[in-house]
Amino acid sequence: MKSLRRMIRFVKPYKKQAILSMVLLMGVVVADLLIPRLTQRIIDQGIARQDVGMILTTSLLMLGAAALSALFSIGNTLLSVRVAQSTSADLRSAIVRQVQTFSFGNLDRIQTGQLLVRTTSDVSQVQMIVQMSLRMLTRAPLWMIGSVVMLITTSTQLALLMLSLLPVILGIIWFFLTKARPLFSSVQAKLDRLNQVMQENLAGVRVVKAFVRDEHENARFDRVNSDLTSENIKVMQLVAMLIPTMLFLVNLAVVGVVWFGGKLAIAGDFTVGEIVASINYMAYSLFPMMMLGGMIGPLSAADASAARIWEVLDSTPDVQNRPQARDLPDVTGRVAFENVTFSYSRSNDFSRFGGARATKVATTADELVLNDVNLVAEQGQTVAILGATGSGKSSLIHLIPRFYDVEQGRVTLDGVDVRDLPLDALRTQIGITLQETVLFSGTVRDNIRYGRPDAADEEVVAAAKAAQAHDFITASPDGYDTFVGQRGVNLSGGQKQRIAIARALLVQPRVLILDDSTSAVDVETEAKIEAALEQLMADCTTFVIAQRISTVLNADKIVVLDRGQIAAEGTHAELMVSSPIYREIYESQLGDGEAHHG
């Protein structure tokens, strides 16, 4: 239960409410423990002596005790709910804030579905156990201790009978607890897999329909759903065995009290009232054991969930600020790669979080993605990067904003190693459109000024015009207030790309990175975007990754990557003479195509 105990730090901010909740719970226990004693008094002093006044007075006392118990219980419930809900809210915030600190390497390891389960289902398990701890888990030992004390004052012999059963009951609880913990961990892992399949299914539902693969997806979901169901059944079977076992022991104890107490009563050493009180105190002392037995399932589930949450909270971001990190006063935008070597070996260890993806990635993780790359982009230059799929183009530009860190060599901005710059300060100097265009639910205006929330409307419009997005935005009835659906579902691929370019331009970066950002845009619009960028971003250093060679013809420098190394570098004219690879790409796209055939 170590993982669960560590969650106390999230309860500490609400310790006053938690303590008051437990104080009220003590009041509930005291009031409840008075009832059997008052019942004994009614039987032995009221009914036996036919004293109606005694019966009435004692009955009123019992009513008062019951009312106090109810009031204290209501107060305890309200406070425990408040503490549990506040704790879970803080826990969810902590997970999200931690994820925001992760580098791309961390996010490569933890899949989105796993994070969703940890933020929702796992947090709910912890929330439930916090609330139950302030109610049942605290009440159970108080009730048991108080009942034993009251039972001893009633009959020492019966108390010893009850205490002899405690080791047996605690042993049974411990046995079930050790068996349940790994099963609940397995259930949460199966739930991870279910969420992953469901997420992929929903995200790719259009592809599923296009390729008529609905039966395949249904079968895939049925498999993981069946796995989760089977694991849940195992857990429920274990829990189902526990409660009847505990109930049998409680009934056995009650029978023992009735038999032994009856013999004492016949001998005149015990009264009927004492027998009734003893039975009640016996039940009160053993019932908490049943409560604890019933809590084995939730406790095991919460501990397994807590361990999974700590996997996220204990993860160290692969990319962090160095202690000596300092700001650059005036950034000009000169970027240099000096003997840069990089691989995903450190970033792609999936073993901690499991999943089928781990085996696949581990086989290629040690291969170098970039090997001894040297490249300089001067201020204001446009550097185009070409290469086959998997040649390392995106990996190269991801090193500039430190989405990943180099393994050897260094990347510099204005002569300063980017690792010596604060991450926020570095990234505010860089505008980037990623290969996969991501838009957020909200208006078009909100999406464009995502990187600069305080940007004026005039600046938003200027950025949209430069990205050739203004015309299609204003053609919509709501213009810049047009609502963008989840992941930009109501926009075409080209429209999403142009909004993403406008978003990057609005931050007025010193370094602009366009990672295949016009692949869904027609050639004419692409040419207009290039012309606008030449004017608007004349002093900005620009890196362009493109599949169409027409996109890079006018670049100041064209770099051809091949298997993580620079195969050629120069202008279009220079490369047509010196680089067979570049010439083949050019002729296959814009020439007669004969060169590469023959």
- Give 289: exposed, middle or buried? Use CB within 10 Å, 0-12, 13-18, 19+: buried
Query: Which range has highest mean pLDDT (5-14, 188-197, 363-372, 584-593)?
Result: 5-14
Provide the 10 A C-beta neighbour count for residue 507. Answer: 20
> What does the radius of gyration of the chain's CA atoms come to, in whole angstroms?
35
Please report, for the chain, the start and end positions of each structural domain, with discontinuous segments joined by +: 2-313, 334-429+512-521+537-598, 433-508
Q: Would you say residue 19 has pLDDT above 80?
A: yes
Neighbour count for residue 296 (Cβ, 10 Å): 24
Region 268-288: what's the mean pLDDT? 76
Q: How far is CA 331 from CA 257, 384, 411, 509, in A?
A: 85, 21, 15, 10
Q: Which amino acid is at 57?
A: T
d(CA 34, CA 61): 9
Tokens of 71: 């009031």
* 235-259 confidence digits (pLDDT tens): 778 777 777 877 787 777 778 777 8
Separation CA 159–CA 537 (nearest Å): 87
Tokens of 46: 């009221």
> What pLDDT score does 592 carry?
52
Residue 72 has pLDDT above 90, yes or no: yes
- Tell me, what's the pLDDT at 352? 46
Give yes or no for residue 131 having a pLDDT over 70: yes
Ranked by mean pLDDT, which of 46-60, 343-357, 448-462 comes out on top? 448-462
Tokens of 444: 């078009």
pLDDT band at 356 (very low <50, low <70, confident <90, very high): very low
Fold match between 334-429+512-521+537-598 and 433-508? yes
Task: Report the amino acid identity of residue 83.
Answer: V
Q: Where are the beta strands (DSSP E) in 296-367?
A: 335-343
> How confident is the model over 429-463, as pLDDT tens digits?
999 998 888 888 889 999 999 999 999 999 999 99
Pick from 37-51, 189-203, 457-471 the range whose average pLDDT is largest.
Answer: 457-471
User: Between the CA atoms of 445, 451, 456 and 462, what dihedral angle is there, to the nearest 10 degrees?
Assistant: -70
242-254: burial string, b at 16+ Cβ within 10 Å, e else: beeebeebbeebb
CATH class held by domain 2-313: mainly alpha
Helix (H) or strand (E) holding 431, with range, is strand 430-433
Q: Of all helices (H) and strands (E), which one includes residue 543?
A: strand 541-545
- Helices then strands, each counted (H, E), the chain: 23, 12
Look at residue 13 in the predicted model and tell me its pLDDT: 93
The string of DSSP letters for 58-104 reads HHHHHHHHHHHHHHHHHHHHHHHHHHHHHHHHHHHHHHHHHHHH--H
Q: How far apart are CA 583 and CA 581, in angstroms?
A: 5
Q: Could you report the per-residue pLDDT of 75-85, keeping only the tens digit for each?
A: 999 999 999 99
Say what percent of the chain tops pLDDT 70.
93
Residue 380: which region, alpha, beta or left (left: phi > 0; alpha: psi -120 to 50)? left
At the second CATH level, the architecture of 433-508 is 3-Layer(aba) Sandwich (3.40)
Q: Are 125 and 301 in contact (CB under 8 A)?
A: yes
Q: Is this structure's pTM higher than 0.85?
A: no
* SS3 assignment, position 409: strand
The better pLDDT of the pair 9, 155 is held by 9
State which fold the 334-429+512-521+537-598 domain adopts.
Rossmann fold (3.40.50)
Mean pLDDT of 556-576: 91
Residue 343 near residue 365, CB atoms below 8 Å: yes
Asked whether residue 133 carries a pLDDT value surpassing 90, the answer given is no
Of residues 490 and 352, more confidently modeled: 490
What's the confidence (pLDDT) of residue 160?
77
Q: What is the pLDDT of residues 151-204, one digit of tens each?
A: 788 777 777 777 777 777 778 777 877 777 678 778 877 877 887 788 778 777
Mean pLDDT calculated for residue range 220-227: 90
How confident is the model over 308-326, as pLDDT tens digits? 899 899 988 888 898 888 8
Residue 294: which pLDDT band, with cuts at 50, 70 and 90? low
pLDDT tens digit sequence for 380-413 = 999 999 988 888 999 999 999 999 999 999 999 9
